[in-house]
A and B are shown apart, each in its own frame.
Chain A
Amino acid sequence: MQEERPNGLLNGAGQVARTLLGLILLAMVLLNVVNAVSRYALSYVVIGIDELLVFAMIWMVMIGMLLVTAERSHIALEIVTGRVGPRARSALALLHHTVIALAGAYAAWQSYKFVMRVIAIQQTSMALELPMAIPHAAITVGLAGTALISVVLAVHDLRALVTRPLVRQPA
């Protein structure tokens, strides 16, 4: 799905999010090493690190999902998209982003309802006793953000589709 990406607000926010992603991964590596060293070398179990690592991974993936969507770099089968002209590619991209926006919005809404239930019953994690709404909210943020970004991209694709000439100009 390699297409030109819309400029502006998304790019600035994207840079911050990319740095955040890298920092989360580095923090995960450090936490993992602290966990293993304390467990095997010092025979001391730091309670809850495993849990924290998994929650950090879920947040990292969901923030990353926004970036990967914005950069149009999700894994896809490019059997047709790689072989058609720019206009048809814009039309396909418009279809993709419309589907992602609709399915993502529905899934985000269901996810939001689930998180509200978790908040209502005040569910906490087993080891750290963190409110479970924190890790669960990552899914809502990821899906809702992806749906929103897809709307922006769909508008961009539509504009590209309308403004592109019907017949390819000779070079």
Chain B
Amino acid sequence: MTVTLALLPIVLLFLGLPIFALFIFGGVASFIWFLSVPPVALHQIMFGGLENYALLGVPFFIFAGELMGGSGIAQRLIVWVLALLGRVPGGLGVATIGACTLIGAISGVSTATVAVVGKSLFPGLVKEGYGQRFSAGLVSSSGSIDIVIPPSIAMILYGASAEVSIPKLFAAGILPGILIATLMSAYVVVMALRIGVATGRGFDLRYFLSTSREAAPALLMPIFVLASIYLGLASPTEAGGFACLYAILVGRYVYKLMSWKEVLDCAVRSAMLTTQILVIVASAALFSWILTINGVPQAITAWLQAMQLHPWSFLMAVNVILLIVGCFLDPTSAILVLTPLFIPLVKAFGIDPIHFGIVMTVNVAIGMFTPPFGLNLFVAQTVLGVPLETLYRGVLPFAVVQIVALLIITYWPELSLFLASVV
């Protein structure tokens, strides 16, 4: 069992076998070598892993994110944030974070946010004197806020895996997301003052009003998505579908930037991205099931309980594990493999699973831009044309800032649970 469920998968993982294949291989090997359950169960478990209404939010929020870029909504939001924050020291840097946060309130895809915001703001950041390294680090790390600000694919996957309310998770992510954005903005302001970056054009009310008018349909989108969920008008899945339709209509008939062919292209890209995530969901269901029926989570729980750890030291250990895992694995795989292992422990330690979901989400969000394999780094490398070495050095201070935020979020559960308790 150790060979089929741990040793072989780890070796194959490092040899670059696709993650979905790793899980299927582990499952098949277990059925052939030591499970007494009929192997047709394999089908039932994989089907069951996908047959989950909550997972419909994944394609919808990916599609909404893709449509934002093509429809002009993301561009309008960026211009509006710039007009709002023009006077703040380090205005353009803070606007980068603000734009990522605002786009994160619609999109569920961090990499798409990095691409859209990076293309628009990176040249300006460099021109204003932030330097290539700082600017690239800022763009790559700010995109990860998207994962914490609802709607979040990571939260949907955690909610489905841990059987926790997804609207509550979404609500719980709002304040931690704002905390991360605030701390990052504070760091950018301090650095802008230290480097002596020129401030922007200053706040011009007339310009702000004109950009607000232009951006109104775009600004309505996050309000529309979040309000529909929290006013009980729609489930997160339904809100995701509405967001897609809204973006298509705005892009097609208000900003007139999208042809039907471009809508279809966006749909194809989104379906492919969805596939990459959901095949892992189906195959991880199989792997998790085998771990569970072999008592692996229970054994880990018993082992840790025997160590008489305090909840705070358990959370610290989880943070360390997730930060290391996040450097190598994508958020989907990390959440799907580790959630079934952690949840019994979380319950045993009396930790709220909603709070734990946010801790896990923030960890995987940091993993999106930490070297060597943070996905945002590769997107930034392509979109910004910056060497990986520069990006690696650029993201480090922002990783420190986000780890500080993570510690606050970990040891101040009320920050996450306050809004979740209101929903």
Q: Which residue of B has the minimal Cβ distance to A58?
A: B50
B206 to chain A, nearest CB (A): 38
B338 adjacent to chain A (CB < 8 Å) = no
With contacts A79-B16, A100-B18, A115-B43 known, what are 11 further pairs, Cβ within 8 A?
A18-B268, A33-B238, A74-B19, A74-B276, A75-B19, A76-B17, A96-B15, A103-B28, A104-B24, A110-B42, A139-B46
Q: Which residue of A has the minimal Cβ distance to B241?
A: A32
Interface string of B278-298 (1 = CB under 8 A from A): 111010000000000000000
Interface residues of A, Cβ cutoff 8 Å to B? 1, 18-19, 21-26, 28-30, 32-33, 35-36, 40, 50, 53-54, 57-58, 60-61, 64-65, 67-68, 73-81, 92, 95-96, 99-100, 103-104, 106-107, 110-111, 113-115, 117, 135-136, 139-140, 142
**Residues of B with C-beta under 8 A to A110:** 31, 39-40, 42-43
B47 to chain A, nearest CB (A): 5
Given the interface pairs A23-B267, A61-B282, A107-B24, the reply to whether A74 lies near B18 with Cβ below 8 Å is: yes
Given the interface pairs A25-B271, A75-B333, A79-B14, the reply to whether A114 lies near B63 with Cβ below 8 Å is: no
Query: Is there an interface contact between B42 and A65, defined as CB atoms closer than 8 Å?
Result: no
Neighbour of B15 across the interface among A95, A111, A114, CB < 8 A: A95
**Residues of A with C-beta under 8 A to B278:** 57, 61
Q: How far is the CA of A73 from the CA of B271 in the complex (A)?
A: 13
Q: How far is the CA of A64 from the CA of B15 in the complex (A)?
A: 24
Q: Count residues of chain B with CB under 8 A from any CB of chain A.
A: 66
Interface of B is mostly: helix
Query: Is there an interface contact between A75 and B59, defined as CB atoms closer than 8 Å?
Result: no
Query: Is there an interface contact between B328 and A77, defined as CB atoms closer than 8 Å?
Result: yes
Neighbour of A22 across the interface among B19, B245, B271, B275, CB < 8 A: B271
B27 adjacent to chain A (CB < 8 Å) = yes
Interface residues of B, Cβ cutoff 8 Å to A? 12-21, 24-25, 27-29, 31-32, 39-40, 42-44, 46-47, 50-53, 55-56, 59-60, 63, 233-234, 237-238, 240-242, 244-245, 248, 263-265, 267-268, 270-272, 274-280, 282, 328-330, 332-333, 372-373
A61, A111, A114, A117: most-surrounded residue (chain B CB, <10 A): A61
Q: How far is the CA of A113 from the CA of B113 in the complex (A)?
A: 43
Q: How far is the CA of A71 from the CA of B20 in the complex (A)?
A: 15
Q: Which residue of B has the minimal Cβ distance to A57?
A: B56
Query: Is there an interface contact between B267 and A40, defined as CB atoms closer than 8 Å?
Result: no
**Residues of A with C-beta under 8 A to B24:** 100, 103-104, 107
Neighbour of B51 across the interface among A21, A54, A103, A106, CB < 8 A: A54
Query: Is there an interface contact between B279 and A68, defined as CB atoms closer than 8 Å?
Result: yes
B312 to chain A, nearest CB (A): 31
Given the interface pairs A57-B55, A78-B373, the reply to whether A136 lies near B47 with Cβ below 8 Å is: yes
Neighbour of B40 across the interface among A77, A81, A114, CB < 8 A: A114
Query: Is there an interface contact between A22 and B15, defined as CB atoms closer than 8 Å?
Result: no
Query: Is there an interface contact between B244 and A61, defined as CB atoms closer than 8 Å?
Result: no
